[in-house]
A and B are shown apart, each in its own frame.
Chain A
Amino acid sequence: MLPVSDFKIRKRNSFNLIGRVRVKFLIIATLLVSSVFFAQLVFANALATDGIKLVQIQEEINKLEEENINMRTEIYQDSSLNSLNKKANQYGFENSSFITSF
């Protein structure tokens, strides 16, 4: 018959050294993977949202630039000498050569 104490000691050693380390490792690894996965999700989401924002900002810039160009074109046309000359004639202004000065 084998001594009872020998059997007990062997069993206790096996459970503490291998089993407890494995469980801790698994818990830490799971936490690590989960946090990495979660962080990736957060960053990916942020990047995706930034992409949309970037497109929106770019569209807004383009729109403003277009309006700016159109308004500038209108200002140039209205303030050109040709246009002012036509308007002056319409409003009855006369060429300086027809005016006698004393």
Chain B
Amino acid sequence: MNRIKLFQIIIAIIAVLIIIRLFYWQFISDISIGSDAFLKETEIPASRGEIYASDNFPLVANQEAFLIYGKPHELNQPVTDIAKKLAPNLISPKYATVSAGLSEAESQKKDQEIKDKEEELSSKLENKNLYWVQLARKVPSAIYKNIQNMKIQGLGFEKDEKRNYPEASMAAQLLGFVGYNKFGQDTGYFGLEGFWDRILKGKSGRLGQEQDPFGLPILIGKYQPIKPKKGSSLYLSIDRSIQFIVENELKNAVIKYGAKQGTIIVANPSNGRILAMATYPTYEPEFRLEFDENLYKNPAVADNFEPGSIFKLITMSAALDSSVIEPDTRCSCNGPRQIGGFEISTWNKKYYPNSTMTEVIQHSDNVGMTFVAEKLGLNKFYEYILKFGFSKATSIDLQGESDGSIRPKNEWREVDLATASFGQGIAITPIQMVQATSVIANGGKLIKPSIVVKIKNSSKEEILQTDGGRRIISQKTAAQVKEMMVNAVQNGETKAFAPKDLRIAGKTGTAQVPVAGHYDPNKTIASFIGFAPADEPKFVMLVRFSQPSSSPYGSETAAPTFFIIAKKLFNYFGIPLSN
């Protein structure tokens, strides 16, 4: 009887203890819902949207990559040994993936990089106070597999998607690149990546799911994962074939003419879409850290330069549109002129008395242009400069666009009006010049240049329409200037290089570069701008070289390059030859 009672008492005590414990867990203990014990909550980064050329081939895609981290207290090998094993894999991908074919200098650089990396890894892994230390980010899958095969205890891997550039350096300055912001998150810089960063990056997801003690998800749990939303993809007007042709010819030309830099823009004048935009020297976005940071910016939209004679087209358009001259108006133009204490002369010191306006453009006559500017007057000339879109950014969808530099009208002196008429003393950007020349090509409308045609994500597709443009000069004026340009190509300085069977409208430019308050006669910006076919233009193109050494003139450097590319574009577009 006593034993039964004792047993009952023990059972009762156990029951009471269990009840007390349950009461404690239920009401007293603060077991929050977010406790790691049963809830796993991690951020799932969203994939960035891709960037496609007009043929739907990706210029920028995503590739699998990994973040490698170490847990110093879990390492079972000496830190120096681990660092030695890892370092050759974690140096610049340029060296990490290529072992053969390196020059002696490159081999030495590689060895030095390995040594530096070893020291860096050792110092990171030696800190036993750290639970987790990041060793490398965006490690390609081939290298990740190498490291995984080493089976080093204490190393861990997380997915860390990486940008992939199938066409390597193609349109690098146009595309921009992806770097990290101050929180270590992927962020676009420069070009399209910078301008469209918010659209491209998407929205991170969250993995919040209740788990059992074995880490398996509890399906009836309250917290379900929130899927990341991939960024939208951009579809560009960039034609990959034209871009390829332009980049190859630009590279050849920059080397041939010994130029410091070259830039080419090809656009469709009827809608402002950019077909190609290239600069040489360029860089490879994948190995961007190997290149000079100055190469990251896109000179086609960011560089201010004095346009020189290509700007005569704008002055002439303004004067014709204002009806202060006609194409057959004649100027004396019989020698250099003194204006505001400065001598204005022609580029080759040749003078053509009694020239028509068409001949002024044909000979690229600075003195003739001062005549035009005087007829036009400062107010009208300034008004047209603004109308053509100079002095403010074109609002092209690229990061880092510059406004150009046109001084306020009240600061202009007599000589400024004269020099501006032939494109000196003002600074514009290459894209502004392309936009302005497109006005002549399309019959008088100023259309905003653009690159992105379509934005697409998993749920919707948005077509970005171009604006219809606004008329700034009459069709008659545009046609008159066009004929002047055709004449300039066929009978002007470029006569020797111009293809006889193509009807191209164009104008050369050679601008001296201002250095420390004066113009350096040996440093020029040589350029050529034009469109073709002249009567129904498919493209407008600017070719610009900075400081060519073989010849300072646009007619001997930029113009031949323009014609070589134009021939290929005629072929590409299937445009029949004139003759």
Q: Which chain A residues have a beta carbon within 8 Å of chain B's beta carbons?
A: 47-48, 50-52, 54-55, 66, 69-70, 72-73, 76-77, 79-82, 85, 96-97
B218 near A: Cβ within 8 Å?
yes
B334 CB contacts on chain A under 8 angstroms: none
Main secondary structure on A side of the interface with B: helix
Say whether, besides A73-B164, A76-B164, A66 and B64 are in contact (CB < 8 Å).
yes
Residue among A69, A72, A81, A96 having the largest count of chain B Cβ atoms under 10 Å: A81
* Total A-B contacts with CB atoms under 8 angstroms apart: 54
**Further pairs besides A55-B217, A97-B568: 15, Cβ < 8 Å:** A47-B220, A48-B212, A48-B216, A51-B218, A51-B219, A66-B64, A70-B64, A73-B164, A76-B164, A77-B166, A79-B57, A80-B167, A81-B170, A82-B168, A82-B170
Partner of A72, one of B61, B218, B219, B244: B61
List the 5 closest pairs (A to B, CB-CB), nearest first: A76-B166, A51-B216, A80-B166, A73-B63, A81-B244
Q: Which chain B residues have a beta carbon within 8 Å of chain A's beta carbons?
A: 57-58, 61-64, 141, 164, 166-168, 170, 212, 216-220, 240-241, 244, 568, 571
Output the nearest chain B residue to A72 by Cβ-Cβ distance: B61
22 residue pairs bridging A and B, Cβ less than 8 Å apart = A47-B219, A48-B212, A51-B212, A51-B218, A52-B216, A54-B217, A54-B219, A55-B217, A69-B62, A69-B63, A70-B64, A73-B61, A73-B63, A76-B57, A76-B164, A79-B57, A80-B57, A80-B166, A81-B244, A82-B167, A82-B244, A97-B568
Chain A nearest CB, measured from B150 CB (Å): 20
A85 CB contacts on chain B under 8 angstroms: 244
Chain B nearest CB, measured from A25 CB (Å): 22
A48 CB contacts on chain B under 8 angstroms: 212, 216
Q: How far is the CA of A82 from the CA of B63 in the complex (A)?
A: 19
A66 CB contacts on chain B under 8 angstroms: 64, 141
A47 CB contacts on chain B under 8 angstroms: 218-220
Chain B nearest CB, measured from A95 CB (Å): 9
A52 CB contacts on chain B under 8 angstroms: 216
B166 CB contacts on chain A under 8 angstroms: 73, 76-77, 79-80
Output the nearest chain B residue to A55 by Cβ-Cβ distance: B216
Q: How far is the CA of A69 from the CA of B164 in the complex (A)?
A: 11
A77 CB contacts on chain B under 8 angstroms: 166
Q: How far is the CA of A21 from the CA of B302 in the complex (A)?
A: 95
Chain B nearest CB, measured from A82 CB (Å): 5
Say whether, besides A69-B62, A70-B141, A81 and B167 are in contact (CB < 8 Å).
yes
Q: How far is the CA of A55 from the CA of B212 in the complex (A)?
A: 13
Partner of B571, one of A51, A72, A79, A96: A96
Q: How far is the CA of A81 from the CA of B58 in the complex (A)?
A: 11
A73 CB contacts on chain B under 8 angstroms: 61, 63-64, 164, 166
B218 CB contacts on chain A under 8 angstroms: 47, 51
A50 touches B219 (CB 8 A): yes
Chain B nearest CB, measured from A90 CB (Å): 16
Q: How far is the CA of A96 from the CA of B58 in the complex (A)?
A: 26
A80 CB contacts on chain B under 8 angstroms: 57, 166-168
Chain B nearest CB, measured from A59 CB (Å): 12
B164 CB contacts on chain A under 8 angstroms: 73, 76
Q: How far is the CA of A80 from the CA of B166 in the complex (A)?
A: 6
Chain B nearest CB, measured from A10 CB (Å): 30
B58 CB contacts on chain A under 8 angstroms: 76
